[in-house]
Amino acid sequence: MSSSSNVSFTMPTYNYVNRTPGINEQELVNVADYLSTTFNISRKEFKIENGTLSYFDPAAYGAIPMNTVPAKDIPSIYKTGEETQTVFDALMINKLREIKCMPSERAIEYCNEIIKRLNLENSSMKMTLKTNNTKFQLVFAKGIEGTPIEYGTFDIDTKVVGRFTLNGIPVEGSGAKFVVNFNERQPTNVHIYMSKFIPGPLINIQTPENSISNHYVSNVKNARINARLVYHAPDFLLSNGQSGFVPATSLLPAYIAGGEFINNKGQISNLLEKYIPAVNDYSHISSVSITTTAVLNKDNTYTINVVGTIVAESELLSITVSSGNNTESIPWIYDTNSNWVPGTNNNGLSVAKQLDGLYNFRFTYICSNSNFKNESNVSLNSFIIASGVNGNSVSKSDNISLVFTQQRTAGTTDFGIEHSISDGLGAELVRRYRDKMLEYASKSYQWASSTTYENDWKVQANYDLYVGNTDEAFYCGHGSPNGFSFENNVSDTWLNYDDIPAGLWGQKDLDWVVLTSCQCLRETNSSGTQWYTRWGPVFGGLHLICGFHTNANDVSTFGRKFAMYQGARDGKPATPIRSAWCKANDEDQPADNVVTIMGVCGGSPNSQTINYGGQVIQNYNDYYHGIGTGSGPDITRNYITCYWRVTSTS
């Protein structure tokens, strides 16, 4: 771009009608009554809360033809490690072609009736409806002479999504969602989470180059970063749903920033995307600073002190400090005298007011080398993220080196995290996933930046200690159709699908791999290699891989939503892991992001069935362990008969 493109420009802001986010309760009641009457759904199934409307039928959402098979009829090879399961789901292959979805035209008619009851004509925001289908793909793994054969791709529901604009600019974010899924006859999912707006004052906007320079700090070398302009509607429940919090009152422009880089295998790969501020006059959060120091203790642990400052006006909502594998946040609230003050934190994070608009923070914790895979030399990264009520944020990072003199051993339990980015990207998403998972599961490990190793996913000894020794392995980082990235060069900085020994994933305890990274489960890579050819061979007892067909966005609430729907928390029903991943996408990822879930079916090693009515066993309806009906079987490599893949658009 020429130098003239760096000149800032102005854009209108928009205020929430009545300065309140969400839709008027009576209008949502009208929608709920209409849907209840039209589709004969019990009115109590519709939930209205904080200006949002939701309805969800976990059994019908994305359902495919299945038959329940008693455990006594299943060969013992499929039940390895599954203590509580008494029945298993079997896919009825010959019924897939009989699936019927509601015609798009009829689904649009129903949604137009919903829109009438929302009275959107008085809002500056415009909404258009778009339909797409959730799809189920099935491939026979053995095929002819061992070559996989595609059986077909089947529409399994009709989804209507709202696309929003203001002044011709897209409105995106968790607070701008209209999603309705239909099976053949009725809705299976309704999520209306939006607001009405009226024009506000003009505001100065940074150019994409300046905004990227100020707010998308990437440690990836030679990355080509780009940005597209949107209005960002954040998850207003985060501010409106807790006592003392003040919700956002206006909608501000932002950029969705992302880009590409060349990985160490010479492949084009994709950066995790992020909303970044577009506001040029950034007086709400003027600046942040951070410094990290370390003191070696006699027991070979370090006391880490992270200190810094925040210069901000009264719209500051929270701060998040991350250091090593530790991430802590403090929300800020109005006190009884209407003063804006930080909250409290019992895990070593404190904030003190120095002057009006100037705050000091301190984060203190103790770490040992068991927190860093027993490495002797550790590069420790710390960063601060200050967030405002309108979704804006400012971040800074710092780095120091630690030297340990002895080794310790890390333990393993139920879920593990590898967050392979050291520049702050994905930190809140990962923390909120962890905190919500801890309500019903134990954490085996949490590695960040310099302690995330490619070898954990491909070398048997490392795999057995970490990724393979947990039920759910959650990864956050950069990716491509061929794999995903690591900042530490052990054994290198990129895990390619063909680096993974055949059948490794699923050996030991591993049941589910979750990849919050770009395009890992894209249908084909740049060479035309299909998803099942790339990732099918890694299955060796693994149940599911959850990933993205498109790029993924660092939406801080996305990890929490996924963990929440898995675990039946916050009043939401427990859902299969497949549904939890799709629901989190519906509610939090930007428009047109597509998530994918991949799994396998099992049968006789010499045929496509298990001789049970022509069906094959699979894990399509897996619940997390101890929740719902539990998980399905471990299908070892020799017994895999089919690969399947579900794609769902946000």
Look at residue 613 and tell me whether its pLDDT is greater than 60: no
Look at residue 610 and tell me whether its pLDDT is greater than 70: no
Q: Are 40 and 173 in contact (CB under 8 A)?
A: no
Residue 162: the pLDDT is 97
Instruction: Give yes or no for a cis peptide into 393 (omega within 30° of 0).
Output: no
SS3 106: helix
Q: Tell me how crowded residue 201 is: count the other CB atoms within 10 A of its CB.
A: 10
SS3 sequence, 267-284?
CEEEEEEEEEECECCCCC
- The predicted model gives 210-214 an average pLDDT of 87
- Indicate the range of 148-162, 203-217, 277-291 predicted with least confidence: 277-291
CA torsion angle for 79, 82, 86, 89 (degrees, to 10)? -70
- Indicate the range of 51-60, 251-260, 412-421, 583-592 predicted with least confidence: 412-421
Q: Which residues pair with 289 in a beta bridge?
A: 309
Percent share of the chain, pLDDT over 90:
58
Q: Are 584 and 70 in contact (CB under 8 A)?
A: no
Look at residue 611 and tell me whether its pLDDT is greater than 50: no
What does pLDDT average to over the chain?
A: 88
CA distance 473 to 93: 30
Digit-coded pLDDT (tens) for 226-254: 999 999 998 876 655 444 555 567 888 99
- The predicted model gives 291-306 an average pLDDT of 91
Look at residue 5 and tell me whether its pLDDT is greater than 50: no
CA distance 323 to 438: 20
Residue 296: the pLDDT is 87
| Phi, psi torsion values for 113, nearest 5 degrees | -65, -35
Digit-coded pLDDT (tens) for 451-502: 899 999 999 999 999 999 999 999 999 999 999 999 888 999 999 999 999 9
pTM for the full predicted model: 0.90
Secondary structure E strands in 313-376: 316-323, 326-334, 340-342, 349-355, 358-367
Look at residue 113 and tell me whether its pLDDT is greater than 60: yes
Digit-coded pLDDT (tens) for 424-448: 889 889 989 999 999 999 998 899 8
- The predicted model gives 307-329 an average pLDDT of 85
37 sits in which H/E element: helix 25-39
Residue 365: the pLDDT is 94
- The predicted model gives 589-611 an average pLDDT of 77
Residues 6+ apart with CB under 8 A from 165: 125, 126, 128, 171
Residue 219: the pLDDT is 82
Q: Tell me how crowded residue 611 is: count the other CB atoms within 10 A of its CB.
A: 11
- The predicted model gives 287-291 an average pLDDT of 91
Longest dimension (CA), the chain: 76
- Indicate the range of 71-80, 273-282, 318-327 predicted with least confidence: 71-80
| Phi, psi torsion values for 37, nearest 5 degrees | -70, -45
- The predicted model gives 94-112 an average pLDDT of 96
CA distance 100 to 95: 11
CA distance 82 to 630: 9
